[in-house]
Amino acid sequence: MKKTLPILLWLLVLIMGSFLLYRSWTKAPQSVVLEIPAQQEASGAVLIDVPWKHLQHVPPFELIDQNGEPFRYGEISGKPMVVSFFFAGCPSICRDLNSQIKRLRDQLNGEDILFLSITVDPENDNVEVLRRYAQDYEATVDEWVFATGQPYKVREIGEQIFRVVVDRDTHTDNILLIDRWGKYRDRFKWDDPYDIKRFTKVAKEVIAETEPPLDTEIRTRNAMAGNEPKDWDTVPWIRDFFLKSSSGDKLYSRDLTGQVWIGNFFFTSCPGVCIEQNSYLSGLQNRLKDHPAKIISITTDPRNDTPQVLGEYARKRGANPEQWWFTTAEDETLTSRISSEFFRAPAGSGHHASELFVVDKWGNLRGRFDWEQPNDEVRMFRLIDQLNSEKVPPGEFSVVAPTSKSTTNSQDEKTNE
């Protein structure tokens, strides 16, 4: 009996050990599991399915290439681009990253795609340094650009456009893909063989596209796509935004991708110019049948202009719910930021711009017009027709100069308490 007991204890220990080993194996990261969920890479990186139109549009920017010439992203509209960040003084990882990019460039040799490597150390990586560095990878500007620029501009491109860290010690090692329509399509880990294989597949799909995939869902690692930030204060510059319509539904500005639209500001208790402007828009919506464009009216009084109030206001003005939407932001601070950062116009408590703002199919502000001037209406219709005919995002463009026309909290306006 005394000999049997230790044997039983050892068996019990062996069984418990095997069970714990099994539990730890089944809870191991999925990168070591053969069966991978449909939306997960072998590396464990999660892919999400989002409408193509919800992908962020990359605005024009300018840097200096390895030959000392200006590199203007806005001038290569219609060409897919692969973006990465590095610095020439990095002795290891950046070298390995660019060796991987060279292999990808060689695989896509002859394809209509451009590679852009941006230094995160512009103080040291001048044109001469980049020229010699590019020679190490047999890179020419027609297929692979090594670029530098003013430090604030490089930081702005990385942090505000691509939302990645721009720093010598902690810069991103992701490869970023922009499609020919200017959409930030996807990102890939350069040292993950599964992700690099996926890059080759996605890049070839992007190169082959001849029309914007407006109604297509895209599988991507770009987690920014279609997500409302938990805290708008963490967003350094508003390029797209969420609103709530009079029906109570969320309206994401990227939902309007592929459509030209007109924006304006108002509030329902305004006794003067807002009524006149919305009366004008009531007639304009019918005339827009020959110049297709949506109308998005944004209240500057979100505390009082609830969806129910906006719905009644829209009904009284005969707004076609398929074409003219009355909307509100979550608070006055966000309304003011949308106005100043997206529309580049004033809007705050008791005052707002009274112009009409025209936005193109890619989400770029392209014009602003005084609705009380007949000549401005003619120019607005011409611009809308031009924007509807565009097949690729614009290159270098300028917004129509502001008229400095805005309403204030005078007798025509109500000052929000």
Residue 410 pLDDT: 39
Question: Could you give the CA distance from residue 171 to residue 157 in angstroms, rounded to a whole number?
Answer: 13
Question: Could you give the CA distance from residue 199 to residue 216 in angstroms, rounded to a whole number?
Answer: 19
Please give, one letter per residue, the 3-state secondary structure of 244-261. EECCCCEEEHHHHCCCCE
Question: Has residue 367 got a pLDDT over 90?
Answer: yes
Residue 70 pLDDT: 96
CA dist list (Å): 74 to 41, 59, 408, 411 = 33, 7, 36, 44
Question: Has residue 350 got a pLDDT over 50?
Answer: yes
Residue 15 pLDDT: 55
Exposure on the CB side of residue 232, measured as CA atoms within 13 A: 18
Question: Could you give the CA distance from residue 352 to residue 245 in angstroms, rounded to a whole number?
Answer: 19
Question: Has residue 33 got a pLDDT over 70?
Answer: no
Please tell me which residue, 7 or 290, carries the higher pLDDT value: 290
Question: Has residue 416 got a pLDDT over 70?
Answer: no
DSSP classification of residue 34: S
Please tell me which residue, 39 or 350, carries the higher pLDDT value: 350
Protein fold of 48-220: Glutaredoxin (3.40.30)
- Between 12-21, 115-124, 143-152, 230-239, the lowest mean confidence (pLDDT) is in 12-21
Residue 28 pLDDT: 34
Q: Which residues pair with 249 in a beta bridge?
A: none
Residue 349 pLDDT: 62
Question: Has residue 88 got a pLDDT over 70?
Answer: yes
Q: Strand 324-328 and strand 356-359: pairing? A: unpaired
Please tell me which residue, 183 or 225, carries the higher pLDDT value: 183
Exposure on the CB side of residue 300, measured as CA atoms within 13 A: 31
Q: Strand 365-369 and strand 356-359: pairing? A: antiparallel
Task: Kindly report the backbone phi and psi dihedral angles of residue 414, in degrees, each rounded to the nearest multiple of 5, phi listed first.
Answer: -110, 130
CA dihedral of 220, 221, 227, 231, whole degrees rounded to 10 = -170
Task: Kindly report the backbone phi and psi dihedral angles of residue 393, in degrees, each rounded to the nearest multiple of 5, phi listed first.
Answer: -60, 155
Residue whose entry in the numeric block shows the structure tokens 């010699």: 132
Residue 35 pLDDT: 29
Question: Has residue 84 got a pLDDT over 50?
Answer: yes
- Between 88-92, 162-166, 171-175, 395-399, the lowest mean confidence (pLDDT) is in 395-399
Cβ-based neighbours of 84, under 8 Å, separated by 6 or more: 97, 98, 101, 115, 116, 117, 118, 174, 175, 176, 190
Q: What is the mean pLDDT of residues 128-139?
A: 96
Q: What is the mean pLDDT of residues 337-343?
A: 92
The predicted model scores a pTM of 0.69
Q: pLDDT class for 1, splitting at 50, 70, 90?
A: very low
Question: Has residue 403 got a pLDDT over 60?
Answer: no
Residue whose entry in the numeric block shows the structure tokens 């103080």: 123
Residue 368 pLDDT: 95
Question: Could you give the CA distance from residue 172 to residue 166 in angstroms, rounded to a whole number?
Answer: 7
Superfamily of domain 232-407: Glutaredoxin (3.40.30.10)
Residue 11 pLDDT: 56
Taking the alpha carbons at both ends of the chain, their separation in whole angstroms is 88
CA dist list (Å): 412 to 141, 354, 403 = 57, 12, 19
Q: What is the mean pLDDT of residues 359-380?
A: 93
Domain coordinates in residue numbering, the chain: 48-220, 232-407
Q: What is the mean pLDDT of residues 123-143?
A: 96
| H helix intervals, 71-184 | 93-107, 127-136, 151-156
Question: Could you give the CA distance from residue 118 to residue 81 in angstroms, rounded to a whole number?
Answer: 13
CA dist list (Å): 42 to 30, 32, 37, 38, 45 = 7, 8, 9, 10, 7
Residue 160 pLDDT: 82
